[in-house]
């Protein structure tokens, strides 16, 4: 924790707040305003007011539809006519599949060979073409980019695109509208697209909101990258939080916003993540995936300092 101490708040090359506000207007008819649920159980455990942002109730079951739709809706008709491709361990792929079917686009989803069978089934349900390549999300991403370049198609990144980041950042608008008075926001981190958008928007409104990144101890790539001052390639282990597992694309634009806006990281063991999944099932009657359980696990681990 405390990795970002001493890092300066530099001027941004991109106005994330403006991008997020534009994305909000662009995607609103395509996405849900997901509910905020007050957690009596978590609040009582830590003497805090704890709310859950239920993006599991979003269309396709995750926040990813926000970024995908924002990106597709800013592309030209000529670009869209050539087709689009993406790569994903699952959630982004499902959102992409839903979006391209709704917009009637030619498309391919590249997946690592170890992708969740349930996520693969969900993607195929929308009738898109699926190609398996590589053993993790980074290998699939790099191959998808190469394929897109060779075939004149457009690659839609799960996180390495300002329009995708801005789409995800619309959660920040909803948080301010639904709660307003925020002190701390705990957010899962993989490639950094979600936290970059939310934190970039929230801190443009109130710089004192503390943003904490939550990662599995088995795959702490962004944590280690910020500690090293550059994107690093480290060995990762399997994790139940598979949606945030794997490496970060070289040159990812999320690195600088993460370095700038994340105040702290909390790393979680597999047992801590599993216990958080069980807690959500027992106390909130919702079965969520490992990546979604990261902020809950992080809160449980640090509840004494979040009073």
pLDDT exceeds cutoff 50 at 6: no
Average of per-residue pLDDT across 173-178: 98
Over residues 224-245, the pLDDT tens digits come to 999 999 999 999 999 999 889 8
pLDDT exceeds cutoff 80 at 3: no
Give pLDDT, residue 138. Answer: 75
**CA–CA separation, 43 and 48 (whole Å):** 5
Contact between 167 and 66 under an 8 Å Cβ cutoff? The reply is yes
Give pLDDT, residue 13. Answer: 62
Average of per-residue pLDDT across 270-293: 97
Give pLDDT, residue 165. Answer: 97
pLDDT exceeds cutoff 60 at 66: yes
Mean pLDDT for the chain overall: 92
pLDDT exceeds cutoff 60 at 277: yes
Q: Give the pairing type, strands 154-156 and 84-87.
A: parallel
Higher pLDDT, 4 or 50: 50
Give pLDDT, residue 112. Answer: 87
pLDDT exceeds cutoff 60 at 100: yes
Of the chain, the percentage scoring pLDDT greater than 70 comes to 96
- Provide the strand spans (E) within the chain: 36-38, 51-53, 84-87, 107-111, 129-132, 154-156, 184-188, 210-216, 264-268
Residues 240-268, buried b or exposed e (16+ Cβ, 10 A)?
Answer: bbbbbbbbbbeebbbbebbbbbbbbbbbb
Average of per-residue pLDDT across 32-58: 96
Of the chain, the percentage scoring pLDDT greater than 90 comes to 81
**CA–CA separation, 126 and 70 (whole Å):** 19
**Nearest in space to 257 (alpha carbons), one of 179, 306, 187:** 187
pLDDT exceeds cutoff 70 at 62: yes
Average of per-residue pLDDT across 30-56: 96
Contact between 291 and 244 under an 8 Å Cβ cutoff? The reply is yes
The domains found in the chain, sorted by start residue, are 16-61+162-306 (3.40.50.1100), 64-156 (3.40.50.1100)
Give pLDDT, residue 301. Answer: 97
Over residues 113-172, the pLDDT tens digits come to 888 788 889 999 999 999 999 987 778 888 999 999 999 999 999 899 999 999 999 999
DSSP letter at 138?
Answer: H
Give pLDDT, residue 12. Answer: 46
Higher pLDDT, 27 or 245: 27
Over residues 200-213, the pLDDT tens digits come to 999 999 999 999 99
């Amino acid at each position: 924790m405390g990795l970002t101490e001493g890092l300066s708040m530099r001027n941004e090359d991109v106005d994330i707040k403006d991008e997020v506000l534009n994305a909000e207007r662009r995607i609103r008819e395509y996405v849900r305003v997901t509910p905020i649920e007050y957690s009596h159980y978590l609040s009582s455990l830590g003497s805090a007011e704890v709310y859950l942002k239920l993006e599991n109730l979003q269309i396709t079951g995750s926040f990813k539809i926000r970024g995908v739709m924002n990106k597709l809706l800013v592309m030209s008709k000529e670009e869209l006519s050539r087709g689009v491709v993406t790569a994903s361990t699952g959630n982004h792929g499902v959102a992409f599949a839903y979006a391209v079917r709704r917009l009637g686009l030619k498309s391919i989803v590249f997946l690592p060979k170890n992708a969740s069978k349930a996520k693969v089934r969900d993607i195929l349900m929308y009738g898109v073409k699926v190609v398996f390549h590589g053993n993790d999300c980074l290998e699939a991403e790099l191959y998808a980019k190469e394929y897109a370049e060779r075939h004149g198609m457009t690659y839609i990144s799960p996180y390495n695109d300002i329009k995708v980041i801005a789409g995800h950042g619309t959660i920040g608008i909803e948080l301010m509208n639904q709660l307003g008075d925020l002190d701390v926001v705990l957010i899962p981190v993989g490639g950094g697209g979600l936290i970059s958008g939310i934190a970039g928007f929230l801190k443009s409104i109130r710089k004192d909101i503390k943003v904490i990144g939550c990662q599995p101890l088995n795959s702490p790539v962004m944590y280690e990258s910020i500690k090293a001052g550059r994107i690093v390639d480290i060995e990762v282990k399997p994790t139940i939080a598979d949606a945030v597992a794997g490496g970060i694309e070289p040159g990812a634009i999320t690195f600088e916003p993460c370095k700038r806006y994340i105040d702290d990281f909390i790393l979680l063991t597999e047992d801590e993540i599993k216990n958080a999944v069980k807690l959500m099932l027992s106390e909130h009657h919702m079965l969520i995936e490992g990546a979604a359980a990261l902020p809950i696990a992080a809160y449980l681990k640090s509840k004494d300092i979040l009073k």
